Structure 1
Amino acid sequence: MTNKKRIEAHDIVIVGGGPVGLAAAVEFSNLGIKTILLETSDSFSDGSRAICWSQRTLEIMDRSGAATKMLEKGVTWNQGRVYLKHHEIYNFDLQMETDLKMPAFINLQQYYVEEFLESHLRGKKLTDIRRLNEVDDISITENKTALLSVITPNEKYEINAKYVIAADGVNSFLRKRLGLETKGKKFEEKFLITDIHVKEPYPMERRFWFDPIFHKGQSALLHVQPDNILRIDLQLGVNADPKIESNPTRVQSRIQKMLGENIDFDIQWISVYSFSCKRMDRFVHEPVFFVGDAAHVVSPFGARGGNGGIQDIDNLVWKLASVLKGLAPKSLLKSYDLERVPAADENILNSSRSTDFMTPKNEASKEFREAVFLLSKNMPFARKLVNSGRLSSPHSYHNSFLNSKDDPAFIGKGPIPGSASLDAVLGLKSTEVWLLDYLGREFCCLVFVNDSILSSKRFEEFRKFVKTLNPQMNLVMVSRAIISKNMRATVLVDKSGKCFNKWSAIPGSVYLIRPDQHIATRWKNYPELENLEQAFKKALGHCEGK
């Protein structure tokens, strides 16, 4: 008698236990959705791999409750310096605003991020993390579910999944097994990447060199990580031999020239790589959704890889959760492609432009770069053309069918529909608080108010109507002054007026905000209740194409 293969059934299976897969599990757990996470390895990532985590990523992690340990351990940096040979061309500060909760960037090794996310998940108890569980086959059933074949050291079993999140990286097995591919450009240029440990701390800033005296004719990048670890990237050229260039003695010599003879260091990790800028034609192949490097790849310059993947799951998870809970139609899931494919294109474009500037391929490109360098010494406008990697920023879904028409009364000022919400420091009693913390993980109406509005019959009708909407909508109110009326709801105080200015708001302005804190639409003055309801339904995918 033969033993039958065990078959499990689950709503959500995540394949891949890197930062993107783990972050997806965290997002689902916060929305009360159980998941199975399958990971081939039995440990966290080798080497530090991704290290730069953007403000937007930190805001997403913070909303999920997973940012605290990252901030405590990570190296915060806002400043960068760009050099030509040994002369500084310019420096920049990525965070001129002081009223933001999250820094512009932190540097934190990928294995720490994975450790912190997994620890957070274990506290939630809604994710079954299965290490040493390798997917060795996938097929789509007649019912449009995914049948996964999983092999472990002790057994082989199957999972029938309503939805699969493919977070299995640049060499995605799921993508290949389904006969899908990424298309784009492969760059032949080779780079040395190494992490080294130094005894003395370095300034907390990004440094980039064009044609440095320690590495003539090439480029170099230095980032500071926790534990006195430096990440160094050195351009090697097209014809470099990876085996020769990864020799520890050769790497030791190169790094010594860069840091100086008086700096002692130990090499932690070495790799020689080239890269591609590619993506899949589309990321949705129901019931499989591709995220992160499984869906799109870019160069490491600009920190758009890992951060782009986190924004993928931020966009996708609330939509899948809404469909699973019966709160939204399946048509909502189409918006993942329509919103995140353009985001990938934006990242690929910026990544490709950075690479082309670093490694000009023809005489015209070389002459352009030399002219930019020459002008940048005295002309501030030219410094913006010096491209050492355009750093990751949130994509605006301004063309999404989930948005409603913008109110022309804003005359284009403030965050438009599709944009990510803007943070601001506000007051609550005697405490400073942050706006994004109050917008939360549900749909939200952000209303700018004053005493007169709060006392009006129209506002009371508006507030009661918001409470009737399904799924539940959060109501957040911001006033320029402390409200004299005894309110049964929280009113945040914007004494400085900066929040009103950022959002181009007046008393009576209303913003409809999605669970991923992107703006669905806005009104300069109170909308009619039927208009609010229609915009709400549209943001849930009920009015596709309308």
Structure 2
Amino acid sequence: MPHESTTPPTLSDDQRVLVIGAGPVGQTAALLLAGWGVPVLLLDSRPERDPIGSKALCQQRDVLDVWDHVGAGRQVADEGLTWTRARTFYRDTELFCQGFVDKGRSPFPPFVNISQTRTEELLDQQIARSALITYAWGHRVTGLRQDADHVTLTCETPSGTVDLTGSYAVAAPGSKGGPIRDLMGLTFDGLTFDDQFLICDIRASLPGWEQERRFYFDPAWNPGRQVLIHPCPDSTYRIDWQVPPDFSLKQDEASGGLDRRIRQIIGADSDYEIVWKSLYRFHARQVDRMRVGRVLVAGDAAHLVSPFGARGLNSGVLDAENAAWKLAFVLHGWADESLLDSYHSERHAAAAENLEVTSRTMAFLVPQTPEEHARRLDILENAVLNPEARGQVDSGRLSEPFWYVDSELTTPAADRPWPGRPPKGEDPEPVPGVLVPDVPIAGPGGVHRLRELARRGLVVLVGSDLDLGACEDAVDGMRCGVTVVTLDEVDPEGVVAASLHLHGRQAVVIRPDAHIAAIVTTPAEVGAAVRRVLRR
């Protein structure tokens, strides 16, 4: 019979992981670690959770899939709103309207808009159900030291100073994580944009706007700058205005300017309620290292990008997933400790890609030089009359997962070179390093999707013409955390084989984060690919 991994044993409290920061990235890391049987102490400097409005509001499909694994993804998707049109304007002219058509293979929409406040509530509900996660509110980290086996955090609390010790730590304190970075000796090089952005969540009735995102370049009511409008659940709309560097929200409210801004969009006679408002600047920054000994840094504390494209929280959740399975495999003794080095190499590269994409967008949205200003004006003016120029208008490319095609954990396939990212909306070629397609399977234990099976451990799918016993023998000694199963057993309809372009004499090795680690043709290559992932 094929070997299947079992529920991970629960580790002892002295192997617990300390997670710094109870935002969505820290919550996700805690839930995923607990799912691997790892006790977690989740710390936050705040005395309790505070509502923060929409903030990071657009959650991408692959993140919903991660949250589904910890019990929250389906509800986030059901409560969230998926807009179907993206309309882009230059002054009073609509340049184009992009429709989003879902191919329907995944049980989740391409993305949903939902306030970060609600996302955190839903993740907290899952945390409350876990006996392995303990919250420690009001713990401000002021010291960090490490030895060969532990990391110790010194925290200021309302009751005094305490030291907390764990086997490892995940630092996800968010965008204000400077003190933690300093304790870790990290640099945070990059750029901060002078212009500010005003966010306002309003509740209003705007017929026809419920499922469309609107982006305005240089409208008459915000000349020289832009405005972005996102629909959210419960008749709520998030509006982002680009405003001057010296803008004061307090003065704008006192003078009636905020009300005028809102009414220029929704009309003079429409009723509205302000749900939340904030003022912020965009940054494009990245730490030099994402692993410092026994501490892994994740989310906004590790990388800051502009929100155009929704690459902040989405990337942070994938940081958390990458960190969690690797820490769990090391703590259970299934992988060598050097596996943690790949956390830095993989997620640092992912952050660099997001910075590159968002920096191109920001050069268009907030040009910094006379040449960038001239180029933007030329493109926008040309796009009014020339449809072919409209493809150069950059209002942000929606978040996409990073694919580990160059990772040291990936076994390259000579017959499947990486062709580069496909056009928007198209699936990538199934080559080593990319996410497996989210296709249905007849899996063991009532598992119904390939990604659901993958997230239960390291998976080896063996083709019908390969010797199953020999493949099992090839991973002997690495059985814990590894599932070996025939492709025919989980794929009676041939959907997986067709999606991955597999034939009977191939086996595919899939990582616990559902990325393809290898596509090989012999049992010996199966063993080598598994050892490569586990660094054994």
Same fold per superposition (TM over 0.5): yes
Task: Select 1:473's aligned residue among 468, 482, 485.
Answer: 482
Shift of the alpha carbon at 1:280?
0.8
Task: Select 1:342's aligned residue among 349, 354, 371.
Answer: 349
1:81: which partner in 2? 87
SS state at 1:444 partner: strand
Amino acid at match of 2:515: H
1:6-44 CA deviation, whole Å, 9 max, x = no partner? xx9553101110000000011001111110001222124
Shift of the alpha carbon at 1:170?
1.6
Q: Is 1:277 equivalent to 2:284 in the alignment?
A: yes
Task: Select 2:531's aligned residue among 527, 537, 540.
Answer: 537
Shift of the alpha carbon at 1:242?
4.6
In the aligned structure 1, how far is the partner of 2:385 from the partner of 2:448? 42
Identity %: 30
Q: Quick one: structure 1 residues 31 and 411, their matched pair in 2 at CA, closer, same or farther if it must change by over 3 Å?
A: closer
In the aligned structure 2, how far is the partner of 1:78 from the partner of 1:492? 34
2:275: which partner in 1? 268
Q: Is 1:323 equivalent to 2:330 in the alignment?
A: yes
In the aligned structure 2, how far is the partner of 1:457 from the partner of 1:343? 35
Q: Is the 8 A contact 1:298 1:348 kept in 2?
A: yes
In the aligned structure 2, how far is the partner of 1:9 from the partner of 1:457? 43
Task: Select 1:157's aligned residue among 142, 159, 162.
Answer: 162
Amino acid at match of 2:291: V
Shift of the alpha carbon at 1:520?
0.9
In the aligned structure 1, how far is the partner of 2:190 from the partner of 2:149? 29
1:129: which partner in 2? 135
Shift of the alpha carbon at 1:102?
1.7
In the aligned structure 1, how far is the partner of 2:389 from the partner of 2:70? 40
In the aligned structure 2, how far is the partner of 1:53 from the partner of 1:533? 36
Shift of the alpha carbon at 1:392?
0.8
SS state at 1:384 partner: helix
In the aligned structure 1, how far is the partner of 2:447 from the partner of 2:155? 49
Shift of the alpha carbon at 1:532?
0.6
SS state at 1:474 partner: strand
Q: Is the 8 A contact 2:26 2:172 kept in 1?
A: yes
Task: Select 2:434's aligned residue among 419, 422, 430.
Answer: 419
Q: Quick one: structure 1 residues 339 and 409, their matched pair in 2 at CA, closer, same or farther if it must change by over 3 Å?
A: closer
1:374-431 CA deviation, whole Å, 9 max, x = no partner? 4545665533321111211001111111111214167968322221222234678xx9
2:38: which partner in 1? 33
In the aligned structure 2, how far is the partner of 1:60 from the partner of 1:40? 26
Aligned positions, number? 512
In the aligned structure 1, how far is the partner of 2:467 from the partner of 2:460? 15
In the aligned structure 2, how far is the partner of 1:362 from the partner of 1:119? 48
Shift of the alpha carbon at 1:229?
1.4
Task: Select 2:238's aligned residue among 220, 225, 231.
Answer: 231
Q: Is the 8 A contact 2:466 2:506 kept in 1?
A: no
In the aligned structure 2, how far is the partner of 1:240 from the partner of 1:152? 36
1:118: which partner in 2? 124
1:257-296 CA deviation, whole Å, 9 max, x = no partner? 0111232111122222212100110111112111001111
In the aligned structure 2, how far is the partner of 1:270 from the partner of 1:457? 60
SS state at 1:170 partner: coil
Q: Is 1:392 equivalent to 2:399 in the alignment?
A: yes
With 69-78 and 322-331 compared, the bigger mean Cα shift is at 69-78
Task: Select 2:510's aligned residue among 510, 513, 516.
Answer: 513
Moved over 6 A (4+): none
Task: Select 1:183's aligned residue among 178, 189, 195.
Answer: 189
Amino acid at match of 1:259: I
Amino acid at match of 1:262: D
1:118-164 CA deviation, whole Å, 9 max, x = no partner? 110111211011222332x2232443632212233234321122211
1:485: which partner in 2? none
Q: Is the 8 A contact 1:77 1:103 kept in 2?
A: no
Task: Select 1:443's aligned residue among 432, 441, 458.
Answer: 458
1:483-503 CA deviation, whole Å, 9 max, x = no partner? xxxxxx443424xx6x54442
Amino acid at match of 1:515: P
Amino acid at match of 1:442: G
Amino acid at match of 2:39: K
Q: Is the 8 A contact 1:167 1:293 kept in 2?
A: yes
SS state at 2:399 partner: coil
1:446-503 CA deviation, whole Å, 9 max, x = no partner? 34x5xxx3xx673464467668742342345556xxxxxxxxx443424xx6x54442
Name the TM-score, length of structure 2 as normaliser.
0.88
Q: Which runs of 5+ in 1 are unaligned?
A: 1-7, 480-488
In the aligned structure 1, how far is the partner of 2:276 from the partner of 2:369? 34
Q: Is the 8 A contact 2:474 2:527 kept in 1?
A: no
Q: Quick one: structure 1 residues 434 and 143, their matched pair in 2 at CA, closer, same or farther if it must change by over 3 Å?
A: closer
RMSD: 2.7
